[in-house]
Every structure is written in C-alpha cells, then in structure tokens.
Structure 1
Amino acid sequence: MLQYEIKISGRVQGVGFRYFTQKQATIFDLTGWVRNTPSGGVVVMVQGEKAVLDTFVDYLRIGPPLSRVTTVSVVEMKITENFSDFHVKY
C-alpha cells in the first residue's frame, strides 16, 4: 500500500471537484481525504495500491466537466496513519 499527496491547480474550486474526487476514490476503493486550499487549489491525501492510485490520478487530471486542471503534482508519502474511508474535509 502507498500514500500519495496530490496537489491540483486550475479551475478546481466551485466546480464540484472535491465531490468528483470522493466519488472516484469510492469507485476505486481508496481511502483518504480531499480539501480546498487557500490558494485556490485542491489537495488530496490518498492510500491504495500503486496501479489503482495511478489510474485515480489520471481521472483527477481530467476532473469534472466544469473544471480546468492546469497542474497535478503527485508525491509519494510515508504512511503515518491508516484511513478508514475517503471523505471531503472542510
């Protein structure tokens, strides 16, 4: 199991991006969370198997219909806690 911190920028706030992310994570049976950042982006902390995580990232590069993703940064992190579900942080 791996953990990724994913930072997404572009038009990703106010377009349903966090809920899109939560839906995709649920479909892929991933755990973690997603939240907006003060700078106008979105950050995702997610755990799962490498192949599944990489496919999940591909979906985030596309995003929901109203979004316009400009950059996606993925960093593999050391797992410090095990998440039990995937949720939106406020």
Structure 2
Amino acid sequence: MIHMKIKAHIIVQGRVQGVGFRHFSYRHALKFKLTGYVRNLPNAQVESIVEGNKNRIADYIELLKVGPSFADVTHIDIRWSQRTGEFSNFEVRF
C-alpha cells in the first residue's frame, strides 16, 4: 500500500484561543506522527501546518473539528499541497 505524504495548511475558526487548542493539536499531531506547527493568529484563529501521511492528516483534522472540551469550532479551512519536508518535528509556536 502506498502511503502518500502531503502537506495541509489548516485555519481553525471559532472559540479556539484560551481553551487549550494548541496543546490539543500538539498531542494529536505527535500521536499521528505529523511534522509542522500550530500557533495562535492575531485574528483569534488557530493555524496549523502539518506534513505526513494523508490518512493521518485527515484523522488529525477530524479531531480538530471537535477540539478540546472548552473549544467551539465553527469553521475549518484546509489547503492541500505537496510535502516540502521543511519540518523535522511538530511544535507549538508563539
């Protein structure tokens, strides 16, 4: 079976800052062996850029749609592209 490696640029909207969303994203990215980062944006959104197996990224996105218990995700925008290999791990950026 071929495991296609790709990149996803994800913007999460709703009540996603101050609710543990970055830590939630970090834990699940590690679980799915993804590389990239997650960070808060000045406009109250959260951005996550991940690279890895397409199926694992899809599973990660499904979890982001729900978020941690105090989050209220209203919309997720995803842009898919080719994997660049620019990340060696996953991190929370500030």
**Which of the five TM-score ranges fits, normalised by the shorter chain?**
over 0.9
Q: Which runs of 4+ in 1 moved over 4 A?
A: none
Structure 2 residue runs without a partner (length 5+)? none
Match of 1:47 in 2: 51
Which of 5, 26, 32 is 2:30 aligned to? 26
Which of 13, 18, 26 is 2:17 aligned to? 13
CA RMSD of aligned residues (A): 0.9
Scaled by the length of structure 1, the TM-score of the pair is 0.95
Q: Residues 35 and 50 of structure 2 are in contact (CA less than 8 Å); yes or no, is this contact kept in structure 1?
A: yes
Which of 54, 61, 71 is 1:57 aligned to? 61
Scaled by the length of structure 2, the TM-score of the pair is 0.91
Q: How many residues matched?
A: 90
Q: Deviations over 1:36-83 (max 9, x none)?
A: 011100000000111111111000000000000000011012334421
Whichever of the two has the greater Rg, that structure is 2
Structure 1 residue runs without a partner (length 5+)? none
- 1:76-87 correspondence runs (5 A): 76-87=80-91
Aligned-pair identity in percent equals: 38
